[in-house]
């Protein structure tokens, strides 16, 4: 029985569909179900409460990715023996897309999803970016935007964990590093959530994996299908001269390799793929150069929320950086974080919940560091102590929720502070 047939069978059971979570995924699922004439109710901790009585009387449960597997509502649903599926599963049921490509990874998946979509549209293959990138699959399906399209679906580990019927036509797993350990109990559990996605792919020949994925599979003793494709990052010297500088930085060389591999397998030449990169606008707050003030460069990498992303950003520079970092810990071991990072650092200015602990470890490693009460103080102190030709890198390495609404709010704040600093600097030199 196909995944669509299984979901259809589940939805034929008596009772309403219960949707857990009122975020983007939950609201999108509700919209799609209602457009199909299906009775459903949205349950959130701020509104309707999901309990044993509701569970007994519903047909199935759609779980939003924000719910950890141990959440009491999920346990209630399982006790009532109700099938749980994700918004992605539900979207698949009604989708009329030509092809769905799942894109996952610890870092870079938003960028790669956008790059693949941009190239595809340039090559006259209509495509959409959906999923964790900001637009739910169910939203596109209910609006019939997916018809006849190639869908590149950014799929987070949270979505993977709750997805039981999603069968992508192709799957890309860029890289792997420890992350989200406040949600997943262990690094291997986090790995297994993404492993689940590639094993559900319809064709193992169309599974593309980064080198770090194979390394962690070996570490965990997990055999990988020999049909899976191993994608090695491109070295800078192999990048065609026409490609912009953005794609030549360390984080993007990995993504570029996947783009070449995926489109080459579909018969496009390297020249066509390179032409498809033209005009691509990188996502904000991913190693974005903000300004240069008195020969000091400011870089915004606010999207960075783990060690691997900070290291990747640091490796884009030929010299040590002045680092601004810190935030809310998602379960990373701070000692390991600083032990890996300190060789890249000239100085460090630390903010947020983890500032004190990072400070202690860095000082022991001989790195000059300061704890700052705000991002504003960190930016001004970093500039005040920077030498000419220095790079000030804002790559937090931790979540934003202790001080900001999200990484975008954090990134906006950094840009504003740098622009204010530039205006003040220009005023003093007149």
| Ranges of each domain in the chain | 3-88, 95-277, 288-429
Which of the pair, 172 or 238, is modelled with greater confidence?
A: 172
d(Cα 244, Cα 263) in Å, to the nearest integer? 19
pLDDT at 163 over 90: no
pLDDT digits (tens, 9 = 90+) for 181-240: 677 778 899 899 899 899 999 999 999 999 999 999 999 999 999 999 999 988 888 888
pLDDT at 1 over 70: no
pLDDT band at 160 (very low <50, low <70, confident <90, very high): confident
pLDDT for 238 equals: 84
pLDDT digits (tens, 9 = 90+) for 59-100: 999 998 888 888 999 999 999 999 899 999 999 888 999 999
In sequence order, the 6+-apart residues with CB closer than 8 A to the CB of 131 are 88, 103, 113, 137, 153, 154, 155, 156, 159
pLDDT for 185 equals: 76
Beta-bridge mates of residue 354 = none
Q: Which fold has domain 95-277?
A: 3.40.1190
d(Cα 38, Cα 119) in Å, to the nearest integer? 37
pLDDT at 324 over 60: yes
Indicate the angle between helix axes 109-122 and 250-264, nearest 10 degrees.
Answer: 40
Query: Are the C-beta atoms of residues 247 and 256 closer than 8 Å to each other?
Result: yes
Q: Which fold has domain 288-429?
A: 3.90.190
pLDDT digits (tens, 9 = 90+) for 277-301: 988 887 889 889 999 999 999 999 9
Q: Give, in words, the CATH class of 3-88.
A: alpha beta
In sequence order, the 6+-apart residues with CB closer than 8 A to the CB of 359 are 348, 350, 369, 370, 371
pLDDT at 5 over 80: no
pLDDT for 365 equals: 95
pLDDT for 360 equals: 96
Query: Are the C-beta atoms of residues 216 and 191 closer than 8 Å to each other?
Result: yes
d(Cα 415, Cα 297) in Å, to the nearest integer? 12
pLDDT band at 430 (very low <50, low <70, confident <90, very high): low
What is the mean predicted confidence (pLDDT) over 402-407?
94
Token match 């092809």: residue?
99
């Amino acid at each position: 029985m196909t995944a669509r047939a299984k979901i259809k069978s589940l939805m034929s059971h008596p009772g309403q569909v219960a949707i857990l979570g009122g975020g983007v995924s939950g609201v999108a699922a509700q919209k799609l179900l209602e457009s199909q004439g299906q009775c459903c109710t949205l349950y959130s901790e701020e509104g309707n409460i999901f309990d044993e009585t509701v569970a007994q009387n519903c047909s199935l449960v759609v779980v939003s990715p924000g719910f950890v597997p141990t959440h009491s509502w999920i346990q209630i649903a399982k006790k009532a023996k109700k099938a749980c599926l994700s918004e992605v599963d539900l979207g698949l049921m009604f989708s009329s897309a030509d092809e769905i490509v799942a894109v996952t990874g610890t870092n870079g998946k938003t960028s790669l999803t956008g790059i693949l979509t941009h190239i595809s549209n340039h090559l006259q293959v209509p495509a959409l970016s959906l999923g964790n990138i900001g637009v739910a699959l169910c939203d596109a399906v209910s609006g019939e935007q997916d018809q006849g399209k190639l869908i590149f679906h950014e799929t987070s580990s949270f979505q993977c964990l709750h997805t039981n019927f999603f069968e992508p036509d192709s799957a890309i797993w860029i890289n792997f590093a420890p992350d989200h350990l406040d949600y997943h109990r262990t690094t291997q559990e986090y790995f297994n959530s993404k492993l689940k996605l590639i094993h559900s792919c319809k064709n193992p020949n169309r599974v593309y994996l980064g080198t770090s994925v194979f390394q962690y599979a070996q570490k965990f003793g997990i055999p990988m299908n020999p049909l899976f494709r191993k994608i090695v990052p491109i070295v800078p010297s192999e990048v065609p001269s026409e490609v912009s500088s953005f794609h030549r930085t360390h984080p993007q060389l990995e993504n570029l390799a996947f783009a070449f591999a995926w489109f080459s397998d579909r018969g496009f030449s390297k020249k066509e793929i390179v032409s498809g990169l033209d005009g691509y606008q990188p996502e904000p707050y991913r190693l974005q150069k903000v300004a240069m003030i008195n020969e000091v460069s400011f870089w915004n990498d606010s999207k960075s929320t783990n060690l691997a992303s900070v290291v990747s950003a640091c490796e884009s520079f030929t010299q040590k950086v002045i680092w601004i970092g810190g935030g809310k810990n998602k379960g990373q071991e701070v000692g390991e974080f600083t032990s890996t990072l300190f060789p890249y650092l000239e100085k460090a200015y630390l903010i947020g919940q983890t500032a004190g602990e990072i400070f202690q470890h860095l000082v022991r490693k001989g790195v000059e560091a300061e704890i700052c009460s705000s991002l504003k103080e960190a930016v001004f102190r970093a500039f005040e102590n920077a030498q000419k030709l220095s790079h000030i890198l804002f790559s937090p390495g931790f979540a934003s929720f202790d001080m900001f609404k999200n990484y975008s709010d954090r990134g906006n704040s950094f840009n504003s502070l740098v622009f204010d600093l530039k205006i003040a600097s220009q005023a003093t030199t007149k």
